Amino acid sequence: MTELQRKLYRQAFALALITIFYNIAEGMISTYMGFQDETIALFGFGIDSVIETISGIGVAHMILRIQQNPNTPRDAFEIKALKITGFSFYILTAGLVVTSVYNLYSGQKPETTFWGLVIASISIFTMWALIWAKMRVGRALDSKPIIADAGCTRVCLYMSVILLISSLTYEITGLPYIDAVGALALAWFALKEGRECFEKAKSISVCGCSDGCH
Question: Cα–Cα distance between 153 and 123 in angstroms, integer?
Answer: 11
* Mean predicted lDDT score pLDDT of the chain: 89
For residue 212, give the 3-state DSSP assignment: coil
Report whether pLDDT(210) > 50.
no
Domain ranges of the chain: 3-109+117-207
| Whole-prediction pTM | 0.87
- What's the pLDDT tens digit per position in 96-152? 999 999 999 888 889 999 999 999 999 999 999 999 999 999 999 988 888 888 988
- What's the pLDDT tens digit per position in 155-189? 999 999 999 999 999 999 999 899 999 999 999 99
Residue 214, pLDDT score: 36
Report whether pLDDT(69) > 50.
yes
Question: Cα–Cα distance between 208 and 204 in angstroms, integer?
Answer: 5
DSSP output for 116-137:
HHHHHHHHHHHHHHHHHHHHHH
201 in Cβ contact with 79 (< 8 Å): yes
Residue 113 DSSP code: -
